[in-house]
């Protein structure tokens, strides 16, 4: 057990050092590419290569200079607001729709081809159309997230409903459950783990989409911030932004996973 724990700690540290090596290698080959140490200084402050004492972008992530100039923390908050607005909208529409698809063969026949066609469309393809419709940064970002992240929720909810065993439905029939009781007492408890799997995938997509969407729409947000730093030639900050996007995405997935486990009856009482 103990050696298992040591491996869990030291092997990632080993891989981390490999990544830093690789990064340093790229920085030597590509001209002006930020070095790991330079990026660290750009993030947390210190003395840069030119010998100047500088503030890092993460030294004060909470500052608010004005409406368009805020610290990184607020950029992330703005992005998360849009992500959750789109995500919640996708849940509210997607779960009932998925339930319907799972319960009705005809609904499945009717909608399945279109779900399969809409599902692989890139958010970047939707964006111009939605921007044209809404003419508004927030609405465009939210609706793009909605339309690209709803599919896993629909598909997984329908799958959950279809996985309800005939035996449970027989119990419901013998007890003469109404259709509503069948949904609340049998179908939902069985499908909840599936629905949460769908939601987890969907939240992952939403976070992918927001960065791309904000780059095109502008305003405040982590995606636009990265693009802005590119335009300002602050290449260090691009890498900082990428790392932050990764960390936040990981955190979202982790929390969503914990929530999913909580609602999954198959994982209760066995831990």
Nearer to other proteins, 164 or 206 (CB): 164
Q: Which is nearer to other proteins, 55 or 181 (CB)?
A: 181
Is 50 or 166 the residue whose CB approaches other proteins more closely?
A: 166
* Residue 265 engages other proteins in binding (rule: CB under 8 A): yes
> CB 99 → other proteins: shortest distance, Å?
17
Binding status of residue 9 toward other proteins by CB under 8 A = no
- Does 251 interact with other proteins (rule: CB under 8 A)? no
267 binds other proteins (CB under 8 A): no
Q: Is 271 in the site for other proteins (CB under 8 A)?
A: no
Tokens representing 146 are: 């909605």
Of positions 84, 168, 230, 235, contacts other proteins by CB under 8 A: 168
Which residue matches tokens 């319960």?
103
CB 180 → other proteins: shortest distance, Å? 12
Q: Which is nearer to other proteins, 119 or 173 (CB)?
A: 173
CB nearer to other proteins: give 69 or 181: 181
Nearer to other proteins, 174 or 233 (CB): 174
Judged by CB under 8 A, does residue 170 bind other proteins? yes
Residue 16 tokens read as 């981390």
- Least distance to other proteins from the beta carbon of 47, Å? 59
Contact call for residue 2 and other proteins (CB under 8 A): no
Rule CB under 8 A: which of 174-233 touch other proteins?
Answer: 174-177, 181, 185-186, 189-190
DSSP states of the chain: -HHHHHHHHHHHHHHHHHHHHHHHHHHHHSTTPPPHHHHHHHHH-EE-TTS-EE--TTTSTT-EEETTEE-HHHHHHHHHHHHHHHHHHHHHHHHHHHHHHHH-HHHHHHHHHHHHHHTT--HHHHHHHHHHHH-SHHHHHHHHHHHHHHHHHHHHHHHHHHTS-HHHHHHHHHTT--HHHIIIIIIHHHHHHHHHHHHHHHHHHHHHHHHHHHHHH-SSSHHHHHHHHHHTT-HHHHHHHHHHHHHHHHHHHHHHHHHHHHH-GGGTTT-
Residues lying near other proteins in the complex (CB under 8 A) are found at 167-168, 170-171, 173-177, 181, 185-186, 189-190, 265-266, 268-270
């Amino acid at each position: 057990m103990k050696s298992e724990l040591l491996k869990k700690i030291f092997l990632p540290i080993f891989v981390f050092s490999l990544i830093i090596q690789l990064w340093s290698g790229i920085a030597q080959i590509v001209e002006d590419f930020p070095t790991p140490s330079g990026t660290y200084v750009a993030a947390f402050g210190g003395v840069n290569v030119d010998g100047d004492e500088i503030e890092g972008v993460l030294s004060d992530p909470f500052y608010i200079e004005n409406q368009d100039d805020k610290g990184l923390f607020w950029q992330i908050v703005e992005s998360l607001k849009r992500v959750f607005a789109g995500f919640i909208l996708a849940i509210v529409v997607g779960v009932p729709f998925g339930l319907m698809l799972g319960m009705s063969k005809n609904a499945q026949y009717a909608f399945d081809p279109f779900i399969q066609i809409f599902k692989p469309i890139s958010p970047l393809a939707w964006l111009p159309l939605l921007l044209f419709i809404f003419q508004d940064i927030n609405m465009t970002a939210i609706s793009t997230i909605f339309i690209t992240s709803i599919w896993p929720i629909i598909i997984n909810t329908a799958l959950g409903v279809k996985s309800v065993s005939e035996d449970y439905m027989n119990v419901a029939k013998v007890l003469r459950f109404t259709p509503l009781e069948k949904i609340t007492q049998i179908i939902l408890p069985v499908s909840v783990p599936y629905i949460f799997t769908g939601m987890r995938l969907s939240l992952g997509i939403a976070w992918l989409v927001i960065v791309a969407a904000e780059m095109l729409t502008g305003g405040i947000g982590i995606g636009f911030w990265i693009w802005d730093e590119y335009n300002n030639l602050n290449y260090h900050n691009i890498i900082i932004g990428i790392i932050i996007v990764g960390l936040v995405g990981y955190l979202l997935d982790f929390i969503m996973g914990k929530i999913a486990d909580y609602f999954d009856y198959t994982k209760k009482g066995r831990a």
